Amino acid sequence: MSLDVYLEDPTAKYETESLYWANITHNLGEMADKAGIYKALWRPEEIGAKYAEDIIETVEKGLADLKARPEYFEQFNSPNGWGMYEHFVPFVAKYLEALKEYPEAKIEVSR
């Protein structure tokens, strides 16, 4: 099971056009929750987020927390190796870059 995040072109007239796509395991849900970014990443609709700009600040804060306290967050690494801090931080960092590059993009998730 995994999470797919998409940033969709809001100006696409006929078909959905993805500007960004990434995938990460659901095993990182608890780590994301502890960093305060679970809903922004997994369930943006629950916080009223429709566009990239709606979650930039939350993801920035969460990423800063992840980077500032690696030892704390590593305790939430998945015992089976599928869902590790060392993979989650780059995932969040790249997603944040895309959010900033396409602030008007529509957020779509598949869980």
For the chain, 111 residues long, give each residue's pLDDT as a single digit of tens.
Answer: 899 999 999 998 877 789 999 999 999 999 999 999 999 999 999 999 999 999 999 999 999 999 999 999 999 999 999 999 999 999 999 999 999 999 999 999 999
The pLDDT, as a whole number, for residue 1 is: 85
Tokens of 32: 């994301």
The pLDDT, as a whole number, for residue 31 is: 99
The pLDDT, as a whole number, for residue 104 is: 98
Question: Is the Cβ–Cβ distance between 30 and 47 less than 8 Å?
Answer: no
What's the one-letter identity of residue 36?
A: G
The pLDDT, as a whole number, for residue 16 is: 79
Q: Return d(Cα 37, Cα 59) in angstroms, integer.
A: 6
Output DSSP code: residue 51. Answer: B
